[in-house]
Amino acid sequence: MSSGGNDCQRVAQFALSPSSALKIQKGDITQWFVDGSSDAIVNPANEKMLGGGGADGAIHRAAGPELREACFNVPEVRPGVRCPTGEARITPGFKLPASHVIHTVGPIYDVDSNPEASLKSAYRNSLRVAKENNIQYIAFPAISCGVYRYPLDEAATVAISSVKEFANDLKEVWCYLNVHLLFPAMVVQNHFILQRESCVFTSCNSVFSICSFILLPH
């Protein structure tokens, strides 16, 4: 499995169930994979599904032009819209190391009338699509936390509460983050939402590390 270079020592792991784990790591989601057959990365797409900026553009570039063609062939639900906000679609991963891409559209925080509900739908529907397609390992980026300006702590809470609902359906759920401040936000929210004793840091094995991730510059 790809470990994102030096970030491999910054993995926080939480037990979701006896058979499922939530892992949080900083790194490049386009390089993530587990087995190349039952794994998927989540693409924070726009409603057209034809590529854009940020992680969306990076995923399209890494996957190659076949991904855009596959997205173009997804039926429109209305003119110019293939995946409405909060919904999810799946395609092959093509040149990506992960076997599939699950495309979802997060809310624009200051525009959406109920951004929490829309973000929760984006996570839930991505996980539902994963389950329906026998995906065992899934990696999420920080949906809506870039140009869509979703507050980091709030986004972390929504992500974790949504993932908990699918605790028995996947072997591993990853939050693979390139947003600098979201890593400590995710870790702290997990610490309080999930059981404290279920947290293991691969680099230091100490709950004290939660504070150090926040207080020390990275």
Q: What are the catalytic residues?
A: 56
Q: Can you tell me which residue has the tokens 């870790």?
A: 187
Yes or no: say if 24 and 185 are a contact pair by the CB < 8 Å rule. Answer: no
Q: Six-digit token pair at 162?
A: 């949504």
Strands (E), the chain: 11-17, 20-26, 39-44, 88-92, 100-104, 137-140, 172-177, 199-201
Yes or no: say if 202 and 9 are a contact pair by the CB < 8 Å rule. Answer: yes
Is 210 in a helix, a strand, or coil?
Answer: helix
Is 214 in a helix, a strand, or coil?
Answer: helix
Yes or no: say if 33 and 98 are a contact pair by the CB < 8 Å rule. Answer: yes
